[in-house]
Structure formats: structure tokens, C-alpha cells
């Protein structure tokens, strides 16, 4: 199954292997005029993704890209908060698509985990609760600020569409802003954005709607969904499955399963550590489910697909270690 194509939401992935979003190693390489502009992909970044696309994955989800400076996570991060960045992102998308891979751009807002030295402002969050492993008290967002961030996501998605990306992915995992709202550990709001799963997912669902109102209903929107906090009293698979169902009803194309405060790479985790979460979510939805995390061999990827626990397989660090992972997995499965 790993090397069969998958058609969904008007796209066709040539196989089930996905290069998940991974902040790349050379965002800051100076390579000519314009390359050092904040957030703009450098020629090195563009060449890197084109090269990776040529090595065979079905889908590339380009690393997290801020939608507003206030949501920037770290220096050197890509950003699509203004129209001037569109031409370089167009080169990035064209390079990936020219090699036969589907090109998706991940859009993010760091929220309460933001560093004022990077964002230029106080960290924003659902309530005055610092995220786990952080001491910074965020400023609770007003409804106006929530709507403003939704407009930033929508505008960035429209720019990604203009740049030729096949779709966008909303980052709602790893303790970033939208997953801070999903998690009962950090969201103690008493208004319509806090309390029930439906309320905690409202910011995310409204963001999907805001994007679709700018890009048109048919434009594919993936959601990277934090499926578990791994902490007592935190997000559960049940919450994640309910949220996934609401996202499907809102027209989302793919649920990309990862961790929330459990992080994307929990210490001492077994291979395929989010496969049980993906299997639960898959029971709740019909749209494709992507799972990433500790999957390193073709045989294991194939087994997850055969067992019906996911439809797409993300291979992150193993693909960083072996850029020709796809070729080697093919050889492994068809000796
Ligand atoms: C260097 C690096 C950068 C990453 N950057 C991002 C990112 O920009 N957005 C994101 O959602 N996850 C990011 N991740 C998490 C990966 O997408 C993936 O979920 C994680 O590495 C677990 O998968 P793996 O075991 O196949 O590596 C990053 C991981 C690594 C190693």
C-alpha cells in the first residue's frame, strides 16, 4: 500500500509517504539580494525542498510559517505575513510540484510559547496559565484578538494559494496557539472558547472557516492535530477524535496526527508512538489520516497502512538521516 497513490480533496499523492513539516537547516543562508528579508525563503531553502521532492515522497508539508510576527516562534523561521514574500514562496511551491510531489505549507502561531525578543510583544494565550515547562504568563486573548489571528491565518492561506501551493496545513499541535486553546491544561476560559471540547475547538474551527472564506471551499486545508498532552488532566484521544470529526464536517482535507504537550518526539517512546491515536481518530472520520512519529522502516509503514490505522505515513528524522528513504523503503518492500 505504501507505494499506491491516494486521491483526496482534488489532489493525488503518488504514494503514501509524507515529508512532515521540519524547520529546515538553512533558512538564514545569505544568497543574494532579498534573501535575508525576514521570513522569505532563501535560494538554499528552495533548492533543498526541490531536491527532497525529487527523492520521491508523495506529499511535502513545508515547515511552519508564521502568519504574523507576533506568532513567530524563532529567528530564521519562514513567514508569509505579507504579499512581498509571495514570489519566493511561489518558487518554493513550483520547485516541489515540478518533481511530482504535492506541496502543502504549514501555517502557525506560537501563542503563549512566544519569546518577546522574537515576537516583539507579550505572549498571547487562552488564559493566564503558562504552558507546561514554561514560566511565561501569557496575556489572555480578547475575542477581537482571536478574530484578528483568524484573519492573519486566512490572509496567509490566500497568499499560499496565490503562490501555487496545493494546500495549507494549520498547526494545532506541539503546544502552539491553537492547541493551547484545545488543551484543558492551558484553556480555563469561561466564554465560548473554553469548557467543552466543542468550545475549546472553536478557535480552530473558525480558523478553518476563515481560510475557506478567502481561498474558496475547495482549497485543501490540512490540520496538524495535537492528539494527547501526555499529562494527567490533559487532552485525550477521545477529545482528539471528537475534534477530528468536527474538522471533517468543516471541510478539512486531512487530519495530521501528532502530539500536543506530549511533543512531537516524546522521550523514550516506542516506534509509531501516535499510531494508537491515529487509529482512534480514523474510527471517527472518513477523510485521510496522516500519522508521524518514530516510523523509520518501510515494513512498519506498510504494516500501519495494512492494519487500517492510517492512510498516510510521515517520515521525519529518518528522512533527514537518509534523504533517499523512499527509494530504500521501496527496495525493502520489493526486494
Ligand atoms: C528538525 C525538526 C524540525 C521540526 N519542525 C517542525 C515544524 O516546523 N512543524 C511541525 O509541526 N513539526 C515539526 N517537527 C516535528 C516533525 O514534523 C515530526 O512530527 C517529528 O520529528 C516526529 O516524527 P519522526 O519521528 O518521523 O521524526 C520538527 C522535527 C524536527 C526533527
Contact indicator for 100, 82 with CB cutoff of 8 Å: no
Q: Ligand 1: which atom is nearest the Cα of residue 224?
A: 11
Domains and CATH numbers, the chain: 6-333 (3.20.20.70)
Look at residue 36 in the predicted model and tell me its pLDDT.
53
Q: Is 64 in the pocket of ligand 1 (CB under 6 A)?
A: yes
Average pLDDT over residues 56-60: 98
| Tens-place pLDDT, residues 155-204 | 999 999 999 999 999 999 999 999 999 999 999 999 999 999 999 999 99
Residue nearest atom 20 of ligand 1, based on CA coordinates: 264
CB distance 40 to ligand 1 below 6 Å? no
In the prediction, which pLDDT does 98 show?
98
Output the residue whose Cα is nearest ligand 1's atom 29: 22
Report the mean per-residue pLDDT for the chain: 94
Ligand 1 centroid from CA 308, angstroms: 23
C-alpha 21 to ligand 1 mean position (Å): 6
| Alpha carbon distance 237, 281 (integer Å) | 7
Averaged over 72-101, what is the pLDDT?
96
Q: Which pLDDT band holds residue 4 (cuts at 50, 70, 90)?
A: very high
Task: Pick the closest to residue 228 from 215, 217, 239 (CA basis).
Answer: 239
Probe residue for ligand 1, chosen from 17, 19, 23 as the CB with the greatest number of ligand atoms within 8 Å: 23
Q: Is 23 in the pocket of ligand 1 (CB under 6 A)?
A: yes
Residues 102-115 have pLDDT tens digits of 999 999 999 999 99
In the predicted structure, residue 34 carries a pLDDT above the cut 50: no
Mean pLDDT value of segment 33-53: 84
- pLDDT at residue 31, rounded to an integer: 52
pLDDT, tens digit (0-9, with 9 covering 90-100), for 276-330: 999 999 999 999 999 999 999 999 999 999 999 999 999 999 999 999 999 999 9
> 119 or 33: whose pLDDT is higher?
119
> 166 vs 25, which has greater pLDDT?
166
Instruction: Specify the pLDDT at position 134.
Output: 84
Write out the three cell numbers for 30.
545569505
Residue 38 scores a pLDDT above 90: no
Q: Is 171 in the pocket of ligand 1 (CB under 6 A)?
A: yes
CA distances to 99, 163, 254, 304, 314 from 289, rounded to whole Å, are 24, 26, 6, 11, 11
What pLDDT, on a 0 to 100 scale, did the predictor assign at position 323? 97
Closest residue CA from atom 4 of ligand 1 = 22
Pocket residue to mutate for ligand 1, from 17, 18, 19, 22, most atoms within 8 A of Cβ: 22
Dist. CA 63 → ligand 1 center (Å): 8
Protein residue closest via CA to atom 6 of ligand 1: 22
- The minimum-distance atom of ligand 1 relative to the CA of 258 is 19
The percent of residues in the chain predicted with pLDDT above 70, rounded, is 96
pLDDT of residue 29: 47
Q: How far away, in angstroms, is 136 Cα from ligand 1 center? A: 24
21 lines ligand 1 (CB under 6 A): yes
Of 193, 258, 263, 186, the C-alpha closest to 222 is 258
DSSP letters along 154-176, please? Answer: HHHHHHHHHTT-SEEEEEE-TT-
Q: Whose CA is nearest to atom 10 of ligand 1?
A: 21
- The more confidently predicted of residues 204 and 24 is 204
Residue 35 has pLDDT above 50, yes or no: no
Query: Among all residues, which ones are annotated catalytic?
Result: 176
Q: Which burial class, exposed, middle or buried, applies to 249 when counting CB atoms under 10 A from its CB (0-12, 13-18, 19+)?
A: exposed
Cα separation of 311 and 259, whole Å? 18
Decide whether any atom of ligand 1 lies within 6 Å of the 63 Cβ.
yes
Q: Does the beta carbon of 172 lie inside 6 Å of ligand 1?
A: no
Give per-residue pLDDT as tens, 226-278: 999 988 999 999 999 999 999 999 999 999 999 998 778 887 788 999 999 99
**pTM for this structure?**
0.97
Amino acid at each position: 500500500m505504501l507505494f499506491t497513490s491516494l486521491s483526496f480533496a482534488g489532489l493525488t499523492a503518488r504514494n503514501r509517504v509524507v515529508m512532515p513539516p521540519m524547520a529546515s537547516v538553512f533558512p538564514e543562508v545569505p544568497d543574494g539580494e532579498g534573501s535575508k528579508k525576514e521570513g522569505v525563503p532563501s535560494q538554499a531553502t528552495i533548492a533543498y525542498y526541490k531536491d527532497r521532492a525529487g527523492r520521491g515522497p508523495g506529499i511535502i508539508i513545508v515547515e511552519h510559517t508564521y502568519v504574523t510576527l507576533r506568532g513567530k516562534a524563532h529567528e530564521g523561521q519562514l513567514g508569509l505575513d505579507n504579499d512581498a514574500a509571495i514570489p519566493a514562496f511561489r518558487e518554493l511551491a513550483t520547485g516541489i510540484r515540478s518533481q511530482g510531489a504535492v506541496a502543502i505549507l504549514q501555517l502557525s502561531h506560537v501563542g503563549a510559547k512566544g519569546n518577546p525578543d522574537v515576537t516583539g510583544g507579550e505572549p498571547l494565550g487562552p488564559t493566564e496559565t503558562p504552558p507546561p515547562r514554561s514560566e511565561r504568563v501569557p496575556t489572555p486573548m480578547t475575542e477581537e484578538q482571536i478574530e484578528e489571528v483568524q484573519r492573519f491565518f486566512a490572509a496567509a492561506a490566500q497568499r499560499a494559494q496565490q503562490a501555487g501551493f496545493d494546500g495549507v496545513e494549520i498547526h494545532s499541535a506541539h503546544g502552539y496557539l491553537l492547541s493551547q486553546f484545545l488543551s484543558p491544561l492551558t484553556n480555563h476560559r469561561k466564554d465560548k472558547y473554553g469548557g467543552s471540547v466543542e468550545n475549546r475547538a472553536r478557535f480552530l474551527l473558525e480558523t478553518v472557516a476563515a481560510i475557506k472564506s478567502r481561498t474558496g471551499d475547495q482549497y485543501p486545508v490540512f490540520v496538524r492535530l495535537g492528539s494527547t498532552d501526555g499529562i494527567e488532566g490533559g487532552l485525550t484521544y477521545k477529545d482528539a477524535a471528537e475534534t477530528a470529526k468536527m474538522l471533517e464536517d468543516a471541510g478539512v482535507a486531512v487530519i495530521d496526527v501528532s502530539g500536543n504537550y506530549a511533543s512531537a518526539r516524546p522521550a523514550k517512546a516506542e516506534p509509531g508512538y501516535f499510531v494508537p491515536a491515529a487509529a482512534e481518530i480514523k474510527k471517527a472520520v472518513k477523510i485521510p489520516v496522516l500519522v508521524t512519529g518514530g516510523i523509520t522502516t518501510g515494513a512498519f509503514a506498510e504494516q500501519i497502512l495494512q492494519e487500517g490505522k492510517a492512510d498516510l505515513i510521515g517520515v521525519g528524522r529518518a528522512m533527514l538521516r537518509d534523504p533517499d528513504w523512499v527509494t530504500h523503503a521501496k527496495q525493502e518492500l520489493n526486494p
